[in-house]
Every structure is written in C-alpha cells, then in structure tokens.
C-alpha cells in the first residue's frame, strides 16, 4: 500500500514537471490559492464525484454573509448519499443535492443566497434553483450545447419574474471543468457516445477537451485519485497546461 502511494506521488509530481514554463503569463496565471472558497469547495465536490465514479460536477450554496451553508455533488452512478440527497439515478445532480437539503424556513433567505456550480445548471437544476427561490447563480463552464438551461431566462415569463442574477461562464474555471468532464466521458461511455458529447463541448472548449484527452491517455486523474489532497496541485497543473496550449494556438 505504502509503496504504491509513493510510486503514485512520484509519478504525479514527475508529471507536474513535464509542464515547462510554469508562469506562462509572467507569473499572473490563476492558481488554486487565488480561488474564492466557494469555487474551491465546488471543485473539490466535483473532484469527489469523479473519484467516486459519478459525473464530475460540484455545487455549494452561499448565504448573504458569504458563508458556505450547503454542499453537494453529482451522484448519478453511486449507491449511497447522505440523508435527503439522491443517488443512483439520472436526476442525482450536484445542484439537486444542494437544494434537497433545504428546509421550510431556509427559503425565506434564498433570495440573497448564491448557488455555485462547476457546470451550467441543466433544465432540471435550473428549475429547481428557481423553485427554491435562489436568485443568484454562478457557474464555471457553459453547457448550452447540451443540457445547460440558463439561456432561457428571458424567454419564460415566470423565470423572468424571478429577476435572476446569473454569472458565468468563467473562462479558465470552465476549461478545468471540461478537462475533468472529457476524461470522465472517455472513461465511462462507449467511444461513440463519448465522442458525440465531447464534440458538443469542443465547440466552446476546444482546449479543455484537448487537454482532457491528453490527461485521459496519461491516466493522470486516476493517479491523482490516490494522492490525498492532490486536487489543488492538479488544478494548478491543469491551468498551466491550458494556458500553454492556448498560447501555442494563438501564435
Ligand atoms: Zn442538473
């Protein structure tokens, strides 16, 4: 067990050294330590989902004071969940597992709360957010070529009346999310189905998808799964790689 852990750590950090010119933007690139706590917790939830074989999407709910009050993650391919959360079916999305923890009086404070998600809320979750009276939505990666639903906000009278404040996508965070997702799709679905979904994501995230394919071939995420608290370093390495590829494409 210990040998395996050491080997994994070594190969993980060696992998990190493969990325040269770490500060490709003169030292200004986004680091894990620059993220706000809600984003850190959302991505850690997404990573936990990935490590448990579910779709890597995480979500948190932040109150008016900026405190994280609830967390949740995708559990569609799992056999358990904490009380009040759902698992093992197609509806067990990250945002649902946050919102299902709310109780009667909580709704009185939801208009000032903010829900974060690493992926644009889908048709189901967008509806659940609105019905839970949450007005502020923050998401990392757009999903408007597939299930993402926030773009319908101005096309439906009831939704429009809720006066939503939607922020997203966030470019680098979205690319990192898409790396995780691409690896998950290639690992989980048939090649035909994975490529169909990846082709849709590649329209908005060609670099995230490209890095995701490389990461999948290198088996990096599977190795990092065995490193305790390995995600922050992985995040920084992915950001570096994404920026390198972006820079190479812009030359
Ligand atoms: Zn959803």
Q: Are 208 and 175 in contact (CB under 8 A)?
A: yes
Q: Tens digit of pLDDT for each residue in 184-202?
A: 999 999 999 999 999 999 9
E strands present in 126-240: 136-141, 165-167
For 86, the 3-state DSSP assignment is coil
Ligand 1 centroid vs 243 CA: distance in angstroms? 29
Q: What is the Cα–Cα distance from 217 to 124, expressed in whole angstroms?
A: 33
Residue with tokens 């939505």: 137
Number of Cβ atoms within 10 Å of the Cβ of 190:
8
Q: What is the Cα–Cα distance from 225 to 61, expressed in whole angstroms?
A: 25
Neighbours of ion ligand 1 (CB under 5 A): 93, 122, 124-125
Q: What is the pLDDT of residue 28?
A: 54
pTM of the predicted protein model: 0.89
Ligand 1 centroid vs 35 CA: distance in angstroms? 23
Q: What angle do CA 209, 215, 78 make, to 5 degrees?
A: 85
196/15: higher pLDDT: 196
Average pLDDT value over all residues in the chain: 90
Q: What is the pLDDT of residue 3?
A: 35
Q: Tens digit of pLDDT for each residue in 54-77?
A: 999 999 999 999 999 999 999 999
Average of per-residue pLDDT across 34-47: 98
Q: What is the pLDDT of residue 10?
A: 43
């Amino acid at each position: 067990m210990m040998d395996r852990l050491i080997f994994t750590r070594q190969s993980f950090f060696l992998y990190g050294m493969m990325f040269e010119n770490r500060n490709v933007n003169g030292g200004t690139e986004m680091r894990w330590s620059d993220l706000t706590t809600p984003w850190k917790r959302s991505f850690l939830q997404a990573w936990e989902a990935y490590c448990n074989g579910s779709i890597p999407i995480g979500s948190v709910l932040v109150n008016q004071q900026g405190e994280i009050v609830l967390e949740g993650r995708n559990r569609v391919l799992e056999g358990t969940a904490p009380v009040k959360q759902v698992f093992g079916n197609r509806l067990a999305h990250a945002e649902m597992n946050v919102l299902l923890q709310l109780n009667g009086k909580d709704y009185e404070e939801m208009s000032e709360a903010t829900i974060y998600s690493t992926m644009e809320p889908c048709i189901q979750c967008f509806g659940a957010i609105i019905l839970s009276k949450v007005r502020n939505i923050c998401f990392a990666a757009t999903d408007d070529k597939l299930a993402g639903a926030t773009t319908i906000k101005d096309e439906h009278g009831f939704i429009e009346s809720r006066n939503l404040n939607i922020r997203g996508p966030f470019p680098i965070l979205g690319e990192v999310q898409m790396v995780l997702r691409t690896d998950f799709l290639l690992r989980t679905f048939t090649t035909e189905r994975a490529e169909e979904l990846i082709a849709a994501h590649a329209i908005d995230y060609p670099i995230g998808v490209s890095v995701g394919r490389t990461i999948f071939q290198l088996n990096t995420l599977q190795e990092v799964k065995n490193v305790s608290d390995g995600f922050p370093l992985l995040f920084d390495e992915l950001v570096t790689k994404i920026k390198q590829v972006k820079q190479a494409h812009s030359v």
